[in-house]
Structures are given as C-alpha cells and as structure tokens.
Amino acid sequence: MKTTLLNSLSSLFPPVPIFLSLVLFVFHSTVFAHRLDEYLQATLVVIEPERVRLQINLTPGVAVSEQVLSLIDRDRDGVISTNEAAAYAELLKRDLIVRLDKRELDLKFSNSYFPQVDELRTGLGFMQVEFSATLRRFPAGTHSLTVENRHLTKVSVFLINAAKPSASIQITKQIRNENQSNGEIEFTYQPPNTFNAMVIFAFLLILVVSVSIGSRLRTSETH
C-alpha cells in the first residue's frame, strides 16, 4: 500500500522549475504529515551545466522524531546549534551517492535550515539541507545522473524528483526503485550556440562601424 501511494504521488510531480522547490517540499510535508512512524526524505535534484544541487527536505514523524533528534541534538539540551546542524548535514552527506555518467561526484555542503526541537517533535516540522557538486564541462548529448540515499533507510520513506532550471538541460526520463531511495535521471544537454552569437555580434559591430564611417564622410563632404 505504501509503495502504491508513493508511486502514485510521485507521478504527480513532473520536472518543476527551481523557484517551485520550496512549495514542492512544503506540499510533500503536508501530504505525509499523517505518517507518524516514518521519516520523510524528499530530494529535489537540480541539474545545471556547471553543477548539480540536491535540495533535501527532511520531516520526521512523531514516532521516529526522538531517534532522529538523537543524531542531531547530541548534547540533549533541546537546541540545535550551528555545529550540531553542520555535523548532521555531514552525516547525511556520507549516506548520499551521486554519479554523473557512472562517475561519482564530490558533494559539498551548501546551506541548511533547522527549526526548534519542539517543532520537530510534532511530526510537522521539517529540516532542509542542500548539497552541491561542481561539474566538469560535459559534451552535448544524453547523460545520466543517479542519486542514492542510504540515510536511516529502516525508518524512512523517500521521494526523488528532478527540476529543470536551464534551457540547455532537458529531462527526458526518471527511473526510481521501489521505495525511491535510488533514482536515475536521464537528460540531454545542448550547449548554447556561441558561433551564432559571435556572428550576430560581429555583424552588429560592422554595422555600427559602417554607420559611423558613413556619417563622418558625409560630414567631411559638407565642409
């Protein structure tokens, strides 16, 4: 039943623009708020010509909130410090594997948001963690990006979805395993046609110079 519901919901989320990411995450959290015994990990994958970003929304249900918090609030003082948030982000990163065309990418921590501990205990509070990886320039054509999340798999449910932030990137296919902890995103990359841009620039430059020279010649003739 769980798998059927996850697959049905995931089919409702085609690749979305990056500015909708927060809305998508909040909606996911709202939809799964009744899942009190599970840890929802929803990942939005942003593929750009020069980097890949993972925006991960983490919503612990009431029944698993203490288990999750034990990994975050290490000193048990009821406050998630900056150092504790960074340490948990690092723990999460170690459970993520991202590959572009079968080559593993080096993820770097980018940003995070952690609410108050009491909010997370309600089952409605969510955390957000973002990672990124710089890409080498890749050729035009078809490529494959795989994302695998191994973090707290026994108590978690997962969602993986791709965003389309650039005109040069086209998402062509998304394949996910049964619980969506592992996803493959196929996409095509078409770099901007710099040759055409150079031709247009050269034409405009010649036109401006020609007009300028013509104007000067007409001015000299009148004198």
Residue 28: give the domain boundaries: 2-192
Q: What are phi and psi of 136, to 5 degrees?
A: -75, 155
Distance CA 118, CA 221 (A): 84
Q: What are phi and psi of 167, to 5 degrees?
A: -65, -20
Do 201 and 118 share a domain, yes or no?
no
Do 216 and 185 share a domain, yes or no?
no
Res 9: pLDDT: 41
Res 219: pLDDT: 58
Distance CA 60, CA 168 (A): 36
Do 183 and 200 share a domain, yes or no?
no
Do 113 and 163 share a domain, yes or no?
yes
Which regions of the chain are under pLDDT 50? 1-34, 196-197
pLDDT digits (tens, 9 = 90+) for 147-197: 999 999 999 999 999 997 688 999 999 999 999 999 999 999 998 775 544
